[in-house]
Structure 1
Amino acid sequence: MSRKQSHYIQLDLIVMLLILVTVSVLAIYNAQQLGQYPDKNFALQQTIYYGMGLGVLIVMQFFDLEQYRKVSLYVYILGVLSVFLLAIAPSSMAYPVNNAKSWFNGSMFPLTIQPSEFAKIGLIMYLSATIVKHKEKNEVATLKSDLWLIAKLIIITLIPVIFIIEQPDLGTSVVFFFITGMLIILSGIDWKILVTLIVGGLAALVLAVFLIVNLPDIATNVLGIKPYQIERVMTWFEPGEQLDDDRFQIDRSLLTIGSGQLSGKGMNSAEVALPEAHTDFIFSIIGESFGFIGSAAVVFVFFLLIYRFVTLGMQSYDEDPYGSFLCFGFMALVLIHTFQNIGMTIGIMPITGIPLLFVSYGGSTTLSTMIGFALIYKVATEHSRQQSFLF
């Protein structure tokens, strides 16, 4: 490999990815020691998923960003169709797990597939393309053009969210809206509109929480929030009350993390019985295995990764706005997943089914995350190539 070719290799992104992948496999291996699924080898399966993801990452580098922009609508439509088909699928194709019909997992499917994970990537791709196309057509922004852009982005988001809420999967729906909100904020619309949207959004959130806590019947009948989701929020607001299994889950998570103390117990040390330890509560296993030092290091790697996405998005905007918004959209995805998942395990956020990207076990989550990472890696290599032409 020539010096010029090696310049295009994004070593920092590769190193951060390898760190998280290594932590993931080790933590999942430790979670297996609890013996909750004695006939499963999740660590091996996750390694296979990462291998498949690496293959996807390599293949996706052979296409340029303009090609991804052109197919973004089709990827988005495919994501919408997948969540729609899931909504109408019979139990032989998809049956509920943990109160949610979120997977194609019936006897007709040899693999378990979660369509909403892939729909997130389609959403980011198409929202980014929509923003860029809008800005190209409206070089001088006006109040009317800004409001029209916001309306388009919200409509694009609502279409898949309608079917996702019906699963029901409120956590993933929140992720979709968070991505859209972040892209709206970074799209360059007038600050007065932004302030209005933020204030209105916060007011709606406060109202929703008020209804959930004080008028749960209205929250169920009007907002469509399921009783078990209300119980999760109540568990968060009343940590001293043993409301349901969620309180038990949080207590076990805190006990697991605390048992790791400063430096952790090391490998083959999982002792605290923690449901879903290899998926949604993988960070608890990290705390037990590697202690406060290891947990803090993982959080720091996520901080560096998110910071890299932000700086890359800012630096690449002039040369490729589409790539820039891809960075911002994927940054929003990783940010909300990281904050919610880790916050959930330490009791400062309500329990949802949102995994820790790059770390939690899961084929759909891993592959969709690697697709998103591949897009960002492509933006980074294109940016490096442009910079090499200039200097």
Structure 2
Amino acid sequence: MLRRLLCCVVSVGLLGVTACSDDNGGSSDKTLTADAGDGASSDASSNDGSSSDSSFSDTGVDTVSDTTSDTAPDTGPDPSGDCDPGYSSDGAGGCTPDPVSDPATRTRQEVCTRWTGYAPQAATLWAQEPTDECDWGELHPEAQGDAIRRLDLFRWLVGLDPVTTKPNYIEVTQACATTLAAEGAGLTHNIPSDYACYTQEAATGASSSNIAYGVRNPAATVDLYIGDRGVNSLGHRRWCLNPTMAATGFGQRGSYSCMYSFDRSQASSVDHVFYPSAGFFPRSALLGAWSAGSRSFNFGSSPEVTITNVSDSSIVQVNNVQKLRNGYAIDTISWEVPNAEADVEYEVTIANGSNTLSYRTTLVDCP
């Protein structure tokens, strides 16, 4: 089986330092290889300098200029006017995302139609194939579009606005993936200047991205990042589901992938990010631990999570409630629900002393 690894960056102050953990959460001087169920391993970028299961970058703010214009996600040609669920024709042969609705108000059919309607469109990975190991090449717009649509699908499920691509984000992530693949030394956010294909663009991309090893197209990395199995911080998921992310870019070379994570240019009004979301949520989209992020609620150091079966008021087993380390997008806690069932409405209550935050969710099996 091809081993899959993940690595996500941490945004800190002005000093770059690397601190990774091994599969058991212990200290290690090697690239993080936290087991992600199917062999994925990862390393997430944070806004502080504490060490945990991540590599730390030296960026407290975006390291790539936001001066270039955003580009709408390329969802492929649309000569017939047919678009994926959740997208509408732009009248010029393409598709644009529909406005995002409150997850709590969606019907089961609406959620399942959107979830099952995703289909990759890229016939080829490359628009321009690399000429040598250090040449970045150029990914096909449809390959970028597949990854953007997959990311937007998870963002839609939790009630977040879609993201776009930026040419300079694509450039630095493609440089990142190229340099890591050429060196073949594993995942790192701090690319040494003596790497054979080192460039400043590659260093910038690595220090500002979720990075992964073991899959051969950028869309496939999104599920790894969202699941984040075995990654204590859930850093990849938190960057992917950051309310203030407005743009990203994906790079791919061989089995190495990079996804730009530090964009914060979205003027989002979303306060809470629940995974699974309020309302109906596809059980097959629940790829790892449950989590709740908030831009306003104070989780405290020892939050409590209570889940109730709404139909009979019974208490549902909840395990491993954790206040996750700060610095990865928004403050987040996580927990596990080992016996969650489909078609049962659950009320989730998060408490920090007398302060509570509640929502209701129903897992569904989409046909």
TM-score by length of 2: 0.29
Larger radius of gyration: 1
RCO (CA 8 Å, sep 6+): is it higher in 1 or 2? 1
Flag the structure with higher helix content: 1
Flag the structure with higher strand content: 2
TM-score by length of 1: 0.28
